[in-house]
Structure 1
Amino acid sequence: MSDTTLATPEEQTAGTAILDIDQLTIKFGGVVALDNVSFDIKPGEILGLIGPNGAGKTTAFNVITGVYQATSGTITFDGTVLRKKKRYQITKLGIARTFQNIRLFPSMTALDNVLVGADAHSKVGILNAIFRTPYFRRTERESKERAHELLKFVGVAGRADEFSTNLSYGDQRRLEIARALATRPKLICLDEPAAGFNPAEKQKLMQLIRDIRDAGNTVLLVEHDMKLVMGVCDRVVVLEFGKKIAEGTPAEIQADPAVIAAYLGVEEEDVDDAS
Structure 2
Amino acid sequence: MSETTTDERSARPGEPGRALLQMQNVTLRFGGVVALNDVSFEIRQGEILGLIGPNGAGKTTCFNALTGVYQPTEGQVVFDGTPLGRRKRFQINRLGIARTFQNIRLFQNMTARENVLVGADSHHRAGVVQSLFRLPRHRRETREGNALADELLELMDLGHRADDLARNLSYGEQRRLEIARALATKPKLLCLDEPAAGFNPVEKQRLMDLIRRVRDLGNTVLLIEHDMKLVMGVTDRIVVLEFGKKIAEGLPAEIRDNPAVIAAYLGVDDASEEEL
**Which category of TM-score, normalised to the shorter sequence, fits these structures?**
over 0.9
TM-score (norm 1): 0.93
Counterpart of 1:139 in structure 2 is 141
Query: Measured at CA, do residues 12 and 85 of structure 1 come closer, stay the same or move farther in structure 2, by a change above 3 Å?
Result: farther
The reply to whether residue 54 of structure 1 matches residue 45 of structure 2 is no
Q: How many Å apart are 1:135 and its aligned residue?
A: 2.3
CA gap of 1:7–1:67, structure 2 versus 1, over 3 A, is farther
Is 1:6 the equivalent of 2:2? yes
Partners of 1:7 and 1:185 within 8 A in 2: no
SS of the residue corresponding to residue 26 of structure 2 reads strand
Q: Which amino acid aligns with 1:203?
A: Q
Q: Secondary structure at the match of 1:123?
A: coil
Alpha-carbon shift at residue 6 of structure 1 (Å): 3.3
Aligned residue type for 1:119? D
**Any stretches of 5+ residues in structure 1 without a counterpart?**
none
Tell me the equivalent position of 2:88. 86
Matched, 1:22 2:18: no
Greater displacement, 177-186 / 255-264:
255-264
Structure 2 counterpart of 1:243: 245
2:107 maps to 1:111 = no
Q: 1:196 and 1:120, CA in 2 relative to 1: closer, same or farther beyond 3 A?
A: same
Number of residue pairs the alignment of both structures matches = 266
- What amino acid is the match of 2:187? P
- 1:13 deviation in Å? 10
The amino acid that maps onto 1:40 is E
Tell me whether 1:227 sits opposite 2:204 in the alignment. no
Q: Structure 1 residues 11, 89: CA separation in 2 closer, same or farther (over 3 Å shift)? A: farther
User: AA paired with 2:2?
Assistant: L
CA distance in 1, matches of 2:250, 2:172: 30
Note the C-alpha offset of 1:74. 1.2
SS at match of 1:96: strand
Which residue number in structure 2 is paired with residue 72 of structure 1? Answer: 74
CA drift at 1:50: 0.1
**Off by >4 Å, runs of 4+ in structure 1:** 10-14
| Distance in 2 (alpha carbons) for counterparts of 1:263 and 1:44 | 27
Instruction: Quickly say closer, same or farther: Cα 1:33–1:125, change in 2 above 3 A.
Output: same
Secondary structure in structure 1 of the residue aligned to 2:151: helix
- In structure 2, the CA distance between the partners of 1:127 and 1:8, relative to structure 1 (3 Å rule), is farther
- For residues 149-201 of structure 1, what are the alpha-carbon distances to aligned partners after superposition, in whole Å with 9 as ceiling and x for unaligned? 10000111111111101100000000000000000000000000000111111
Question: 1:234 & 1:89 partners in 2: Cα distance?
Answer: 28
Change (3 A) 1:7 1:120: farther
TM-score of the aligned structures, taking structure 2 as reference length: 0.93
